[in-house]
Structure formats: structure tokens, C-alpha cells
Amino acid sequence: MTDHRMMSAVVTHGPRDYRVEQVPVPTPGRDEVLIRTGAVGICGSDIKCYTGASLFWGENGDDGYVEGPVITGHEFAGVVEALGPGAGEKHGISIGDQVVAEQILPCQRCRFCREGAYWMCEPNEIFGFKRGRAEGGMAEFTLFPANAIVHRVDPRLSAVEAAYLEPLACAIHAVDRAEIKPGDTVVIAGIGSIGLCMLQWARQYNPRMVIAVGTRPLRLELAEQLGADVAINVRESDVVAQVRALTDGYGADVVVEASGAADGPQQALEMVRKMGTVVAFSSIKDPVRVNWNLAGDQKELTIRGSHLGPYCYPKAIEAVAEGRVDVASLVTGQYAIDEFEAAIEAAMSGDGIKTMVLPGLSRASSPQAAPVAEGQG
């Protein structure tokens, strides 16, 4: 039966052209799931899409990764509202369950999907970027297509914690790629919302030291509260010299590069020790130049990329439910859906950590960027 209700959604039409519109509530077909969206996070890639970064929209504004008009948002979770035929059995869920879907919708046909590397799916369909095929979660209701990878969320998690599972899973995957050994010195370069999750997950490996590198004093304070042994402001210190001083001149065993800055990869190559490991996580708009001799001839490094959060959602759910990773304190602004412009401006300001939109809120009941606790900026 077709659902004739209308709902509010944030629809992407182009750079800086995001509109709150009334659109039909989707009707789930076979193996599809309709959720009532609980919360949606605004991510760094959302900001790049909004501002028109060439990585997403293309040099001419219309030939990049985004295909609008499309409902935006890929960091979201919610409660099952309706199930299409076979959906409950396929995904192991029931109406009323809190659920999250992984951000990618694997085709299950390309060589990567067939080999089990679904997160590298060649079509690379991700919620919130492709018109009609992967509509996002910035709406009162969201449809999980039949090929979505759905996880039931521990009921101990709040709506905003459930929405944080996507960036946390990405953080876990990046840190797992580093293969940290007990006693290692680990640098997390870039302490935005995902970097702050990375440093918490890195602690699970019992390193000797975790060093947080960033630019914002309040985020550096929060990094220390969340487990960083040392926090370095790259604008105030020679970060490479300081890391070497902390490691008897050798450099860090592992550097996870999550700064998003064009000079970040070069600093990572300089901070890591010979035969160390660099994990490349950042999505960087501008061209990057590095001294590639550091990777090969001079240091013989292991360099690994990191994309999305494959096989990490169960780990993320368990870590938050058990209190081993704190994401709730990273949510520093909550907005109603019709306050999207204020929400994206808050996210772009960098004054907080994670801005969330709660589609079920009305403007009247919205906390409207509730005050940020000390150390969370």
C-alpha cells in the first residue's frame, strides 16, 4: 500500500542550495525498510558538498560525485516504522527496533563485492549523494533499500549516539588498519569528530602513548579528557620536532592522518619512524605534494588507505553501549530539520564538534545549539 503522507526533508539542489521541502514519505517494497529518522549528523564531506568543493561537484559545479536533487545525509539512524515484504526476515529486525544502515549500498555484482570487499563497491552508492538511488537521511522518514546493510542498535544507545555510529565505524576501521601493537606510540593527526573517536579506539590497543595533533585549543583539551597522553597545537609548536622528542628522536610508530589539510600527509611522513605505518584517512580538496622518498628510499614505510567502516558497526555499537567510547559528549549542537541553515553554519564554524539534526524536533522544542560544555569546542 502506498504511503500518501508528506514529510520534511533537506534536498540538495546545488552548492549552497539546500532546501527544506515537503516530499512524499517512501513506501517500502520487497526487502526494504522504512525508518522514522531519529538523528542525522553533519559530516566534513557534507560541508564540502554544501560549499561546492570540486571533489564532490566537479569543476563546473555539475559533474562531480553529487547528483541532485537528492535528500542529503549519510550519518543517521532511526526506529523501524514499516517493513516491506521479506524485510524483517532478511535484515533480522522488527517494527520498533532502533536500527542503523551502513553508509554504502553495495551492488553485490562487481568484483569487490564478490570478493567480500563490499565497501569498495565499484558503483560506490552512498546514502545522500545519488538522486533516486541513494536518498539520504536528512528527513523525517528514510528508506533503506533492499541492498542496505542493516544493524539492530543496542537499546541503550540514544538517538544521537545511534546516528554517531557511522563516523565511529569509520574511525574504528582506520585505526584497525594501523595494526597498533602494545607499547606503540600513536599520533592522531586531526581531532575533529572522527579523530576524537580514533584516539579513543586507539587506546583499546594498549599503546605506550597517544598523541593528538590539532589546531583548536578546546578540542585539544577534550582530546586529553578522552585519553590522549599529549596534545599538540600544530599552530603553536613544531609538531614533527615535538613528536620526535617524545620518541627518543625516532618518530611515532603509527600516524593516522585525519586532518583534511593539504600539508597533513607531508607532516605524517615526517612524524613517523622508519618502517612505521601511516594510515591515510583524510579527504583533501586541494592537490597534495609530498616528499615521496620518505615513504620508500628513506624510511620504507607501510602506507594504508582507509575508506568507510566495513565490518565495524557491531564493534561500534558494542563500544558505545559498554561505555568504552564516548560519543555523546561530542554532540555540541542539536537542531530541528527546518533549522538546517543554522545547523550547517554551526558545523562550518568549527566551534563545536558534531552538529546533529533531529528530524522529529519542532523548531519550538529545538535546543538550538545547546551550550557547549567546557572543553568540547
Average pLDDT value for the chain? 92
Which of 36, 62, 56, 69 has its CA nearest to residue 124? 56
Q: Is residue 320 part of a domain?
A: no
Which string of DSSP letters, residue by residue, matches 138-198?
-BSEEEE-TT--EEEPPTTS-HHHHHTHHHHHHHHHHHHHH---TT-EEEEE--SHHHHHH
**Structural domain contains residue 316:** no
Residue 68 maps to which CATH number? 3.90.180.10
- Model pLDDT, residue 52: 82
Is the preceding peptide bond at 69 cis, omega within 30 degrees of 0? yes
Same-domain pairing of 16 and 125 = yes
Task: Give the helix/strand (H/E) hosting 8.
Answer: strand 6-14
Angle between helices 340-349 and 44-51 (to 10 degrees): 110
Q: Which domain holds residue 294?
A: 171-305
Give the number of domains in the chain: 2
Q: Are strands 150-152 and 98-101 parallel, antiparallel or unpaired?
A: antiparallel
| Same-domain pairing of 24 and 157 | yes
Q: Which of 202, 228, 201 lies closest to 214, judged by CA?
A: 228
Give the pLDDT mean for 150-171.
98
288 and 338 within one domain: no
Predicted confidence (pLDDT) at residue 93 exceeds the cutoff of 90: yes
Whole-angstrom Cα distance, residue 174 to residue 180? 11
Angle at 56 between CA 288 and CA 20, to 5 degrees: 140
Counting every residue written for the chain, the total comes to 377
The answer on pLDDT for 63 being more than 70 is no
The whole-angstrom separation of Cα 357 and Cα 61 is: 26
Based on the domain organization, do 143 and 215 belong to the same domain? no
Same domain, 146 and 48: yes
**Residue 270 domain-assigned (yes or no):** yes
pLDDT of residue 94: 98
Q: Is residue 45 a part of any domain in this protein? A: yes
Q: Same domain for 12 and 119? A: yes
pLDDT for 319-336, tens place per residue?
A: 999 999 999 999 999 999
Does some domain include residue 310?
no
Judge if 91 and 223 occupy the same domain. no
CATH code: domain of residue 196 = 3.40.50.720
Q: Could you report the per-residue pLDDT of 95-153, keeping only the tens digit for each?
A: 999 999 999 999 999 999 999 999 999 998 999 988 877 899 999 999 999 999 999 99
One domain for residues 44 and 82 = yes
Residue 246 lies inside a defined structural domain of this protein:
yes
Q: Are residues 43 and 120 in the same domain?
A: yes
Residue 147 lies in a domain: yes
Check whether residue 54 and residue 156 sit in a common domain: yes
Can you state the angle between helices 165-178 and 193-202, rounded to 10 degrees? 50
Place of cell 609538531: 239
Q: Taking residues 299-313, what's their average pLDDT?
A: 98
* CB of 354 closer than 8 Å to CB of 196: no
47 close to 345: Cβ distance less than 8 angstroms? no
**Residues 206 and 285 both lie in one domain:** yes
Of 259, 275, 305, the domain-final residue: 305
Please state the rounded mean pLDDT for residues 9-28.
95
Mark whether 254 and 132 lie in a shared domain: no
Model-level pTM? 0.93
Residue 264 lies in a domain: yes
Q: Which of 158-162, 175-179, 205-209, 364-368 has the lowest mean pLDDT?
A: 364-368
